[in-house]
């Protein structure tokens, strides 16, 4: 055997030994969890251990072995693998997000109807953009489209996601530029 083959074989053997140790630790922790569950209030209090060759068995005073095996089986089924726990948590979060999206989802905006929001377009949006330009400086090109830039300015200066009729009228955005409310 060459040095490379010996090194590979050593790595494989070392990995297998490490894996064996890991499995031993996991099984030991599992046994400790079962014992702890059996010792908790309401669990099986009286028990003793007896070796039975390769199998480990718990004998309980006043209880049959099958009842204990059922309890241990039930316990093992209730212990989730860490990856299963993470997947379950992610699934729950996805369900919550989907529910919130259903609640927050609005139908597509009508051309020039309230509330004015992302996707709205028309004369009311143009008046809003003129109002934003007059009150908060450089806006860019008036597009008559409630786009991301308009949405960002509305959020920044008015603290809302969309403009309802009440806000629109409060600042007299529908009026001529000289009649609009100046906020500065």
Q: Can you give the residue ranges of every domain in the chain?
A: 3-102, 123-179
Task: Check if the beta carbon of residue 137 is closer than 8 Å to that of residue 145.
Answer: no
SS3 state of residue 121:
strand
Q: How confident is the model at residue 54 (pLDDT cuts 50, 70, 90)?
A: very low
The residue written with tokens 């090194």 in the block is 7
Q: What percent of the chain has pLDDT over 70?
A: 71
Task: Check if the beta carbon of residue 163 is closer than 8 Å to that of residue 153.
Answer: no
The residue written with tokens 């809003």 in the block is 128
pLDDT digits (tens, 9 = 90+) for 84-142: 888 888 888 888 888 777 656 667 787 789 999 999 999 999 999 999 988 887 678 88
SS3 state of residue 116:
strand
Please give the model's pTM, rounded to 2 decimal places.
Answer: 0.43
Predicted confidence at residue 163, as pLDDT, reads 93
- Alpha-helical segments (H) within the chain: 3-39, 65-78, 82-104, 123-136, 148-158, 165-170
Q: For residue 84, how far is the Cα from the chain centroid? A: 15
Evaluate the CA torsion angle 119, 120, 122, 124 in order and state its sign: negative
More reliable by pLDDT, 166 or 46: 166
């Amino acid at each position: 055997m060459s040095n490379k083959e010996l090194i590979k074989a050593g790595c494989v053997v070392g990995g297998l030994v490490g894996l064996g140790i890991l499995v031993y630790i996991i099984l030991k922790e599992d046994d400790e969890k079962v014992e702890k569950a059996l010792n908790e209030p309401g669990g099986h209090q009286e028990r003793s251990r007896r070796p039975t060759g390769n199998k480990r068995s718990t004998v309980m005073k006043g209880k049959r072995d099958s009842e204990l095996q059922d309890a241990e089986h039930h316990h093992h089924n209730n212990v989730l693998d860490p990856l299963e726990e993470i997947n379950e948590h992610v699934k729950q979060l996805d369900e919550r997000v989907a529910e919130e999206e259903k609640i927050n989802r609005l139908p597509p905006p009508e051309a020039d109807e309230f509330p004015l929001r992302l996707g709205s377009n028309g004369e009311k949006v143009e008046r809003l953009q003129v109002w934003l330009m007059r009150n908060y400086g450089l806006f860019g090109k008036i597009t008559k489209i409630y786009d991301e830039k308009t949405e960002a300015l509305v959020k920044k200066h008015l603290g809302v996601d969309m403009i309802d009729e009440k806000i629109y009228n409060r600042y007299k955005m529908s009026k001529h530029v000289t009649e609009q409310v100046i906020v500065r």
